[in-house]
Chain A
Amino acid sequence: MIFGSNHIELVNGAFWFIVSISFILLSFITFLMIYFVFKYNRKKGKKAVNIHGNTKLEIIWTVIPVILVMAMFWYGWIGYRDLKNPPKDAMIIKVTAQMWKWTFEYDNGVKTDSLYVPVNKAIEVNLHSLDVNHSFFIPAFRFKRDVMPNRNNSIWFLPATVGKYDIACAEYCGLNHSAMYSKVIVLPKQEYDAWMKNELAKKNASSTQLPIVIDSTKVK
């Protein structure tokens, strides 16, 4: 685990597993095509042989792929199962999407434009949309979840490494869809606590209900 979150291992694992098998099969198919084209080229003047088929072969190349894809399915499924079931002690953050920005609200009422989280703590994000469909996508953490106006989706992750990562919108949402970026900022525990204390103080000091803009790391 170099970057990001707990999900990476299983997602990358499944990905490279399928890519490897696919690569081997594709190379095999391509090799055979090229080999046959040269070996049985008409220029060589050999007579073609009418072979109508071979049931044994058909069974082999049905059964083996079935086994392979079942393995792929399984690998994909265990990673997903992991993503679906948050631990009980996950910290809950409310995420609101609208055209074309993200707002994050912590359980103490603090609102921000970027998502600040402590490292090595399970985070569950509850996703809401004020207008159209969006999708909450953190490429570095290998997951996304659609954010819809009538549905309360949620997803969890465990940020494993301190750092800044992009949050993108992955469901087309109109004009500035491609500018709907934000950041997830993973801090060491103490820094996070200090930051949160500061935010809370700011919030209590300010009389307005407006969300406070702390960090304009908006990428665009």
Chain B
Amino acid sequence: MHNNGHAVSYLDYKGKHSGIFAWILSTDHKRIGLLYLMASLLFFAVGVTFGFLMRLELIAPGRTIMDAQTYNSLFTLHGIIMIFLFVIPGLPAVFGNFFLPILIGAKDVAFPRLNLLSWWLYILGALLAVISVFLPGGPADTGWTFYIPYSIRTTTNVMPALIAAFILGFSSILTGLNFIVTIHRMRAPGMSFFRMPLFVWSLYATAWVQILATPIIGITLLLVTIERLFGVGLFDPALGGDPVLYQHLFWIYSHPAVYIMILPAMGVISEIIPVFSHRTIFGYKFIAFSSLAIALFGSMVWAHHMFTVGMSETAQIIFSLLTFLVAIPSAIKVFNWVATLYKGSISTDAPLLYALGFIFLFSIGGFTGLIQGALSVNMHIHDTSFIVAHFHYVMFGGTGFGIFAAMHYWFPKMFGKMYNMKTAKVGFWVLFVGFNTLYFPMFVMGWLGMPRRYYDYLPEFHIYHLISTIGSWILITGLIIMFTNFIKALRSKTTYTAINPWGGETLEWTIPNKPPLENFEVIPTITAGPYEFKDNDEFLMKENN
């Protein structure tokens, strides 16, 4: 640890520009990370509001507060926002940007200006999506999947939404590219691949998926745009095109995209669990390689979204089989995490609660994924609210809770403030209870035959919808508790100076809170893995005092 007393924090230094331009034109990875954080949380708030409104509509059968068209647009926007603007950038672009260079002992990412360009593309895409809502014609109502032929028939503003998704994809590609080069070229001396923190490993695997899969969705959405603009026959069945081909192309990207969302969250969990158990991670290499295995196998299971389309029998068998196999590396991770708790010295602070919450919810998401992978069962539950529950457990319970875990874990480092620990725990429990109340009934309804993307429903499903809507209120209460806790901390006058509050061993805990512009005064030399915790005795003594 060096005496960094004189280094100006990244929040305060003066650069070429001033005012807001010091931020939106900054190439500092930490400022960019923070820009992403603010933007994506803003969209998260909008998405949650839409989710809340949908749930309110579904509180009783028949029309409650909106008409069918509005509902259809709402779930489309909700999906687009949550996927492209919140969960995909949520970890790589926010915490990856902020912490990847620090974790590998670098001053910045490999291409800082490209990094800024990614953020601008993200904002541009987001603005387009917002604009599409207000143009005449009304917001898109296709669902975030833009399935053909509906997406070329509907008169709503599908085009701006498509172009928005295209641009957002580009932003994501550039971030991935930047991270791969950064990890290959900018590790501090001694930081071999197997001394990298697991969050870095997960970002590495994610980055490869980002650059390999995203161009496919890019071109596919572009083709749909061209199809709508010029009436070129590419997918339109009326002109001989094949909507099923579209679905293949869409899922070739969008399934791996699920791993873009979940892998970095797994990385965060792999950071948090050893730190709060204060012992080394169990099975480092197995966790690292399982990320790569997930990235690899995850790219080969896209057609499990299409079992009811009617593919050849061989295709059905292969995709079902691979789907079951892709669960294995995730299972390995879960077992290793749990084993890391064994004989640890566990401190149940908020980040750990979120991490354990992640394991529980993600496991439910994973197990229900197995249920859907079974061909015969898939024929029944595909496109029902069972699926809606499943992907919320994975994307929200998984990635969402991963993001919350990361926020609680790194908050003191990023802002030099500390939130109220008790409130944070209360927030967690409310969120957790709300989450399960909101989404678990959807499994039941789905199994009983409640289709998804339904504005209205049969009376027999009322009770489940009612419980689910009440759950959404509890969940939102939890979110409010969590965010007010953060905001209060940010506004408080007391700065938090302990640079290593959790006893972590990775590099970010060696530099001051609110790190200075180039992170390290002297680039550190790495001599050991990231989770060695050799100081067990001293640490215990300190904690007990």
Mark A residues whose CB is within 8 Å of B: 7, 10-11, 14-15, 18-19, 22, 25-26, 29-30, 32-33, 36-37, 40-42, 45-54, 57-58, 61-62, 65-66, 69-70, 72-73, 75-84, 131-133, 135, 137, 139-140, 142-146, 148-151, 153, 166, 168-179, 181, 219-220
How far apart are the CA atoms of A19 and B447 in the complex, in Å? 12
How far apart are the CA atoms of A170 and B280 in the complex, in Å? 48
Query: CB distance A40 to B341 under 8 Å?
Result: yes
How far apart are the CA atoms of A181 and B348 in the complex, in Å? 50
Query: CB distance A61 to B344 under 8 Å?
Result: no
Query: CB distance A170 to B346 under 8 Å?
Result: no
Chain A hits for B457, CB < 8 A:
178
In the complex where A77-B317, A131-B149, A133-B243 touch, is A46 in contact with B345 (Cβ < 8 A)? yes
How far apart are the CA atoms of A168 and B370 in the complex, in Å? 24
Query: CB distance A79 to B341 under 8 Å?
Result: no
How far apart are the CA atoms of A78 and B283 in the complex, in Å? 37
Query: CB distance A52 to B374 under 8 Å?
Result: no
Query: CB distance B453 to A41 under 8 Å?
Result: no
Asked if B237 is an interface residue, CB under 8 A from chain A, the answer is: yes
Query: CB distance A41 to B380 under 8 Å?
Result: no
In the complex where A48-B345, A146-B309, A176-B68 touch, is A62 in contact with B376 (Cβ < 8 A)? no
How far apart are the CA atoms of A40 and B342 in the complex, in Å? 7
Query: CB distance A80 to B380 under 8 Å?
Result: no
In the complex where A53-B282, A80-B376 touch, is A42 in contact with B346 (Cβ < 8 A)? yes
Partner of A72, one of B241, B243, B313, B373: B373
Q: Other than the known A48-B344, A69-B327, what 8 A-B pairs have Cβ atoms closer than 8 Å?
A: A36-B338, A37-B341, A51-B342, A53-B285, A57-B339, A73-B324, A151-B309, A169-B451
Q: List 7 A-B contacts (CB under 8 A).
A: A37-B348, A40-B344, A76-B373, A133-B243, A143-B379, A169-B451, A175-B69
Query: CB distance A11 to B332 under 8 Å?
Result: no
Partner of A58, one of B332, B338, B345, B540: B332
Give the most central of B313, B334, B336, B341: most A CB within 10 Å.
B341
Asked if B454 is an interface residue, CB under 8 A from chain A, the answer is: yes
Top-8 shortest CB links A-B: A139-B449, A79-B376, A76-B374, A80-B375, A22-B367, A36-B341, A150-B237, A178-B454
Query: CB distance A45 to B544 under 8 Å?
Result: yes
In the complex where A15-B447, A29-B338 touch, is A22 in contact with B371 (Cβ < 8 A)? yes
Query: CB distance B324 to A69 under 8 Å?
Result: yes
* A4: min CB distance to chain B, Å: 11
Asked if B72 is an interface residue, CB under 8 A from chain A, the answer is: yes
Query: CB distance A80 to B324 under 8 Å?
Result: no
Query: CB distance A143 to B533 under 8 Å?
Result: no
Query: CB distance B346 to A37 under 8 Å?
Result: yes
Partner of B380, one of A66, A72, A82, A143: A143
Give the interface size class of chain B.
35 or more
Asked if B483 is an interface residue, CB under 8 A from chain A, the answer is: no
Query: CB distance B453 to A47 under 8 Å?
Result: no
Chain B hits for A73, CB < 8 A:
320-321, 324, 373-374
Query: CB distance B456 to A168 under 8 Å?
Result: no
Query: CB distance B283 to A80 under 8 Å?
Result: no
Asked if B377 is an interface residue, CB under 8 A from chain A, the answer is: yes
Partner of A48, one of B237, B277, B364, B458: B277
In the complex where A19-B371, A79-B375, A140-B449 touch, is A49 in contact with B364 (Cβ < 8 A)? no
Chain B hits for A175, CB < 8 A:
68-69, 72, 141
Chain A hits for B344, CB < 8 A:
36, 40, 48-49
Which partner residue on chain A sits nearest B340 by CB separation? A51
Partner of A33, one of B244, B320, B341, B380: B341
Query: CB distance A174 to B371 under 8 Å?
Result: no
Asked if B266 is an interface residue, CB under 8 A from chain A, the answer is: no
Partner of B454, one of A57, A83, A139, A177: A177
Query: CB distance A22 to B370 under 8 Å?
Result: yes
Query: CB distance A79 to B377 under 8 Å?
Result: yes
How far apart are the CA atoms of A78 and B320 in the complex, in Å? 12
Give the most central of B285, B376, B382, B456: most A CB within 10 Å.
B376
Chain B hits for A137, CB < 8 A:
383, 449, 451
Query: CB distance A150 to B242 under 8 Å?
Result: yes
Query: CB distance A40 to B375 under 8 Å?
Result: no
Query: CB distance A66 to B308 under 8 Å?
Result: no
